[in-house]
């Protein structure tokens, strides 16, 4: 039981962090600092990039913690059901999205900004990856907080 509560807490922290940063902090940042007349040239973009980078690393750490908790929970005699494997799959997929976003998409956004490449394409892919992480983290939270009569 304590491991289930810890897993729900970690999943809630992950999903809540993604929600707050992606859908509140970054849009507010662009609304406040996006205008060069207010804050000088290109202030919001680099700050948002740092926020998303931090979010990716936090997602990787929290995902790893969740995987360790789920593995230990399973070792304590919890039934290994297909639902538990699916939950771990959501965690792994969100972590994969974070890695690709951090080391692939983010680098291409910087390159596109400097070289005049397709900034819109890379921003769109980054948005899809953040949304994917958010959906996976939400699915993990939903599954872990289900009544105990169901398997993880």
Mean pLDDT, 10 residues at a time, the chain of 152 residues: 86 96 90 65 80 95 94 63 81 97 90 81 93 97 80 54
- Quick: pLDDT tens for 7-45: 999 999 999 999 999 999 988 888 888 655 555 556 788
Per-residue confidence (pLDDT) for residue 29, from 0 to 100: 87
pLDDT score, position 20 = 95
CA torsion sign for 44, 47, 49, 52 is negative
Q: pLDDT, tens digit, for every residue of 5-14?
A: 899 999 999 9
| 92/147 Cα distance (integer angstroms) | 23
Contact 60, 89 (CB under 8 A): no
Taking the domains of the chain in order of start, what are their residue ranges?
A: 2-144
């Amino acid at each position: 039981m304590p491991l289930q509560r810890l897993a729900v807490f970690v999943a809630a922290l992950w999903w809540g962090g993604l929600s707050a940063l992606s859908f509140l902090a970054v849009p507010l940042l662009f609304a406040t600092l996006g205008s060069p007349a207010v804050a000088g040239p290109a202030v919001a973009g680099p700050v948002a990039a740092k926020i998303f980078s931090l979010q990716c690393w936090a997602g990787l750490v929290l995902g790893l913690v969740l995987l360790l908790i789920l593995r230990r929970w399973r070792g304590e005699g919890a039934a290994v059901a297909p639902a538990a494997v699916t939950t771990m799959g959501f965690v792994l997929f969100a972590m994969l999205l974070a890695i690709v976003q951090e080391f692939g998409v983010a680098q291409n956004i910087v390159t596109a900004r400097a070289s005049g490449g397709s900034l819109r394409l890379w921003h769109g892919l980054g948005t899809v990856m953040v949304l994917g992480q958010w959906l996976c983290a939400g699915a993990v939270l939903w599954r872990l907080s289900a009544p105990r009569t169901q398997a993880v």
